[in-house]
Structure 1
Amino acid sequence: MSSRRSKGGLLARVNFPLYTVQMITNRHILVGGGGGSSKTGVANGFEIFELSHNGTYFVAEEVTRHETGPNVVMNCASYRSKSKTWIVAGQESHCQLYNSKLISENEEFIKGPTAHNLRCRKNSEKAKESQLQQEKIEEIKNNNFKSKKLQLVLEPADSIQTTFGNEEPLQRVVRVSPCGSIMATGGTDGKVRLWKFPQLEKLYDFDGHGDDYIDDIDFNPNGSLLVSIAKGKAFVWDIKSKKSTELSWKPPDGIKYMYKKCRFRGLTEEVKNDLFMLTNATTPKKNPSFLQLWDINNGVITKSVPYKETLSALAVSSDGKFVAVGTMTSGSVDIFVAFSLRKALHVPGAHRMFVTGLEFLPTDDELNGVAITSNTETAVVSISVDNRICIHSIPFRHTLPFWFVILLIVLCICGAFIFCSYLGI
């Protein structure tokens, strides 16, 4: 498949390295990171941007900036009910809870490239085609104009220590269950801890990884299962019974592999048993890495895609149709069709350094409000320690209706018979 570059490109730049990205609403995205506790002059904290589409480009406008002092933000998660929005951010060994208030106001215009800055079409192109595209741009603009601008006001709430036992304990990952009742954290002490959310009251621990650092965790769509990975081990935990099942596979030629990221496919019951995982060889120069699709019911890998470099980031769209992967060496981003793992978009060198996070723009739903109206089938935001926030999108694929194709075939056959009869063949 030939490479196709996204037309989205750079969304924004910040003044600190980025390590985590999270969609808060259908239009707001949070990015966090920092320079750590050393006196480098690099800030620690996060920024929240409101995203929109002006008919040609995605546009990001900063609405909130919050600094966290000497504590770098390495991971975060969010949950929104009908009345409240919560954000949890990992800050060293602690997890900080924020209560987010949404304030709506009518947006009069969308900032970004104006009409005279739009790409000019070639003179040879038909005027009608140009007019149709302009009408499409105006339609998207009008739909986005009608939406309300949502300002987010953050109020720090409780903070709890989630990782213990090391000289410099560090929370490495946090996730909130789809129903919003449980928060799971993992850190450098090798334990997965479950907390009542949003009260942040301790429930119990999952202890199966020994002293290995927890690399990633994720809930299945109905919140009954939790997957945790650390180095070469992956466990599926039953939340109620607390029992676990280990996911294992036999790498080729006895090569040692380590799990890096894990994400369940989508948020619907129909795909709750599909799990994507990134696995990297301990000797990456000689052996490939893999994007794997697991059936956790049977504990088997159903599909996999090899990579010639180390993988660093993973995201799955909320509708379960697409999965995105970020790389370590080249800073590239790839988007795959989830059910077949067919590559749909390749963005080489999306970042100058390794990709630290990926997040798909969500689809429309009752809680998160109206989705951004655009001319793309899907779009994923990528971040890196190069301080850049980028977006990569796949335009809608224009296909002919099935009935029209059948009608066209029938007409061609009839035309062939009439032509042959005319020639007396």
Structure 2
Amino acid sequence: MARNRCDGLLARVDFPLYTLQTLTNRHVIVAGGGGASNTGVANGFEIFELSHNGTRFVAEEVMRHETGPNVVMTCAVRSIQNRTYLTAGQESHCQLYKVNIRMVDAAEMRRGSFRAENGLVRRRRRTVSENDNISKKDSNSNTTEKRISFEIRPSDSVQTDFGDDPLQRVVRISHDGKLMATGGIDGKVRLWAFPRMELLYVLEGHTKELDDLDFSPCDTKLVSIAKDGLANVWGTAGVRAPLLQLTCQPPNGSKYLFRRCRFGLIEDKPNEYRMFTIANPLTRSGKQKGLLQLWGQDGTLRKSVCVPESLSALAVRDDGRFVGVGTMFSGSVDIYIAFSLQRVLHVKNAHMMFVTGLEFLPVRGYGPPVASRSEAALLSISVDNCLCVHSLPLRKTIPAWVAIVLIIFVLFCTFTLCSYLGI
């Protein structure tokens, strides 16, 4: 299925993007930067509010927070008892931020400026497709209408990696907000009490640097993958040995390494889950083909599909129905049905460079979802500084009156045939 003509670029920022998270059903935070070198490229976060104007998705910048010389390579968001926390990997440390949500006047947000946490006053930039609608919004808006705004305030910071050249590669927060898992260059998985940022214990099951982590929907399991080719599934109750240890099982027998991992819900089965991984070939010669694989809770490989090129990003929608992948070389994006791994959307050259992050617009998150004419919407980012959206159109169904007419017609033909045959 081809992409919708109304999809594509949502917003462009002035720094490379490395990580993407959803704050609410209609707010997304992107982060990245140019690093500590004196290049003039900023480091930090930007928050956008998403909407659908009846024709296409629109992104409106809500706020920006700059992090000085510290580039943000990975982040995680979790709301706990009406308080929202943001954790960000900055070099060897994990920085905790408290995100204050407040209501402000909508017309003022559209017309005016806002103050960032670092004291810089920045005028809100209008993003792609917003200029076409801004006059109509202002003329029709109620001056008492309120919109959600955010304040990001730095809190605690802890060192999470202790290698020779320490770097936090990944951070995840459990769904109940009680645990945080981090991984980095030293190959160790560290479990922290959250949001106290207190180290609980260290899991040592990998020999090389970590690439990804994820908590199961019920928070009883944690999966970790690393450049040693292993996917370890741990219990979160304090057991220091892996419950399962998986290796990639490609159909052609070649050597593959896991790149990303995600758990996904199974509809109508709250205590069960699936696990998805993407993997790339170890060798870099010839045409590389990536793998998207589906695993059962017992560690058995259920399904595997081959993708024409190496993969870089993976996302599962919060209800477990859809899986999204992004590619390394062409910057393409695909959406699959979770239980069958049937591809239902392919967007070629969605970005000019490799895809660094993917997130589905949530359907079970905080606040009303974005109303659109799509069954699913997948957000993607890249080091090309772009935030894009790719939507899966609603599958066409037969109107009820057409179905009734068809049923009546079939019954009429059946009775006519029976009368003709004398049955």
Give the letter aligned to residue 197 of structure 1.
F
Q: For residue 221 of structure 1, give the secondary structure of its aligned residue in structure 2.
A: coil
Q: Which moved more, 1:12-21 or 1:271-280?
A: 271-280
Q: Say which is worse superposed, 74-83 or 413-422, in terms of deviation.
A: 413-422
Mean Cα displacement is larger for which, 4-13 or 148-157? 4-13
The 8 Å contact of residues 249 and 300 in structure 1, kept in 2 or not, is answered as no
- Bigger drift between 399-408 and 38-47 goes to 399-408
Q: How far 1:395 sits from its partner (Å)?
A: 2.0
Matches within 5 A, 1:20-419: 20-105=19-104, 107=106, 112=130, 114=132, 148-166=146-164, 168-210=165-207, 212-231=208-227, 232-240=229-237, 241-244=239-242, 245-266=244-265, 270=270, 272-283=272-283, 285-297=286-298, 299-365=299-365, 368-400=366-398, 405=403, 408-415=406-413, 417-418=415-416
State the shift of 1:413 in Å.
Answer: 3.9
Shift of 1:177: 0.2
Question: Are the equivalent residues in 2 in contact too, given 1:52–1:144 (CA < 8 A)?
Answer: no
Alignment partner of 1:265: what SS? strand
The one-letter amino acid of 1:228's match is S
Q: Which moved more, 1:261-270 or 1:216-225?
A: 261-270
**CA-atom RMSD in angstroms:** 3.0
Task: Provide the C-alpha distance between the structure 2 equivalents of 1:242 and 1:401, rounded to a whole number of angstroms.
Answer: 56
Instruction: Name the SS of the counterpart of 2:313 in structure 1.
Output: strand
Q: Which runs of 5+ in 1 are unaligned?
A: 119-137
> Does the C-alpha gap of structure 1 residues 399 and 151 become closer, same or farther in structure 2, counting only changes over 3 Å?
same
Report the more deviating stretch, 414-423 or 302-311: 414-423
Kindly state the Cα deviation for residue 406 of structure 1 after the two structures are TM-superposed: 7.2
Aligned-partner Cα distance in 2 for 1:116–1:19? 29
Q: Which amino acid aligns with 1:326?
A: G
- Amino acid across the alignment from 1:209: H
Structure 2 residues without counterparts, runs of 5 or longer? 111-125
The answer to whether the Cα contact below 8 Å between 1:170 and 1:187 also exists between their aligned partners in 2 is yes
Which region of structure 1 is more displaced relative to structure 2, 271-280 or 194-203?
Answer: 271-280
SS of the residue 2:210 aligns to: coil
CA distance in 1, matches of 2:105, 2:266: 31
Matched-pair contact (CA < 8 Å) for 2:3–2:391? no
1:84 maps to a residue whose letter is R
> In structure 2, how many angstroms separate the alpha carbons of the residues matched to 1:143 and 1:400?
37
Instruction: Provide the C-alpha distance between the structure 2 equivalents of 1:215 and 1:62, rounded to a whole number of angstroms.
Output: 30
* 1:194 partner amino acid: L
Structure-2 change in CA distance of 1:267 and 1:293 (3 Å): closer
Instruction: Select between 250-259 and 67-76 the one with higher mean Cα deviation.
Output: 250-259
Q: Which moved more, 1:42-51 or 1:86-95?
A: 42-51
Alpha-carbon separation, structure 2, partners of 1:153 and 1:270 = 34
Residue 115 of structure 1: CA displacement?
Answer: 6.8
Distance, in Å, in 1 between the alignment partners of 2:322 and 2:332 is 17
Shift in Å at residue 7 of structure 1? 2.3
- One-letter identity of the residue aligned with 1:329: F
